[in-house]
Amino acid sequence: MARKFITYFDKQGDDYTDELIMAVKDKLELADNIKYILIASSTGESALKLSQAIDDDSITIVNVSHNVGFSGDNESDISEEMIKELENEGIKTFQGLHAFSGAARGVTNKYGGYSPLDVVADTLRMFSHGVKVAAEISLMACDAGLIPVGEEIIAIGGRAHGVDTAVILTPVNSKNLFNLQFHEIIAMPRD
């Protein structure tokens, strides 16, 4: 048995990036088995803040941005300059289809209805949008070969601007979605 501390923010969607990074740093002091941190940062700003706060060469940080075309045809939410700046910090940036929507969203947008992955995403959103994002980016990063399957990581997500959720989970490839395991909530919004 273990008693652990969880940080709860007032509401989702607010920018709690600085406070969340402090909670992640506190967790890293206690968890010597974490070697990877995933962060959902569409512009790269939150990933850059995280990198500047975590001064540990044994930790690999991977930024997951939106896919090109998410906000508009041929548009990237992250600039080439930011991708290069993150690379200089040792951070890889991944841009690809969202694991819980992707091409399935195109089908439901045209024909209506829902995809089974919509049910998975909405179930995770019952905890918080950031919990859904943390699971989603872990699937995406595993499928891209950027993080290992079966090793506990920290995954960070949020809603809108900044981040408000951090969890420890064991990621899997998307074909094994239901083997993904959440172990701890480090921080999340209460409402």
SS (H, E, C) the chain: CCCCCCEEECCCCCCCHHHHHHHHHHHHHHCCCCCEEEEECCCCHHHHHHHHHCCCCCCEEEEEECCCCCCCCCCCCCCHHHHHHHHHCCCEEEECCCCCCHHHHHHHHHHCCCCHHHHHHHHHHCCCHHHHHHHHHHHHHHHCCCCCCCCCEEEEECCCCCCCEEEEEECCCHHHHHHCEEEEEEEEECC
Of residues 20 and 108, which shows the higher confidence score?
A: 20
Confidence band of 14 (pLDDT split at 50, 70, 90): low
Percent of the chain exceeding pLDDT 90 equals 68
**Which of 21-35, 37-51, 57-71 has the weakest average pLDDT?**
57-71
Query: Residue 98: what pLDDT?
Result: 85
Q: What's the maximum distance between 2 C-alpha atoms anywhere in the chain?
A: 51
Residues 124-180 pLDDT 10s: 999 999 999 999 999 999 999 999 999 999 999 998 788 999 999 999 999 999 999
| pLDDT above 80: residue 51 | yes
Query: Residue 113: what pLDDT?
Result: 78
Query: Residue 32: what pLDDT?
Result: 84
Query: Residue 91: what pLDDT?
Result: 96
Query: Residue 81: what pLDDT?
Result: 96
Q: Say how many C-beta atoms besides its own lie within 10 A of residue 155's C-beta.
A: 29
Mean pLDDT of the chain: 91
Query: Residue 70: what pLDDT?
Result: 77
Of residues 139 and 76, which shows the higher confidence score?
A: 139
Query: Residue 12: what pLDDT?
Result: 81
Strand partners, 94: 64
